Amino acid sequence: MNYTVLRVWGIPIRLNISLFVFLPILAWLIGSGEQLAAYATLINSMTPATVEAAQLTDADRWIIGTAAAIGLFASVTLHELGHAWAAMRYDIEVESITLWILGGLASLTEMPKEWNREFWIAVAGPVTSLLVGAVCLAALFVVPESATLVVFALGLLAVMNVVLAIFNMLPAFPMDGGRVLRAVLARNRSYVSATRTAARAGIAFAIVFIFLGVVVAFSPVLVLVALFIYIGATTESRTVVIAELLSGFSVSDLVSQSETVPADATAETILARLLSARRTNLAVVDKSGTVVGAITASALRDIRPAEYETTTVGEIATTDLPRIDGETSAFDALQELRSGRSEAVLVERDGVPIGLVSQEDFTAVLNFRRDTVAF
* Residue 63 φ/ψ region, left for φ over 0, alpha for ψ in the -120 to 50 degree band, beta for the rest: alpha
Q: Is 91 annotated as a binding residue?
A: no
Q: Is 83 annotated as a binding residue?
A: yes
- Beta pairing, strands 281-285 & 11-16: unpaired
Does the active-site annotation cover 360? Answer: no
CA distances 50 to 56, 57, 225, Å, are 13, 17, 33
Q: Is 332 annotated as a binding residue?
A: no
Phi, psi of 353 (to 5 degrees): -60, 135
Q: How far apart are CA 132 and CA 75, in angstroms?
A: 7
Q: How far apart are CA 234 and CA 230, in angstroms?
A: 6
- Between the two ends of the chain, the Cα-to-Cα distance in Å is 38
Q: Which of 34, 80, 309, 343 is catalytic?
A: 80
List residues with catalytic annotation: 80
Residue ranges at the known binding site for Zn(2+): 79, 83, 176
Residue ranges at the known binding site: 79, 83, 176
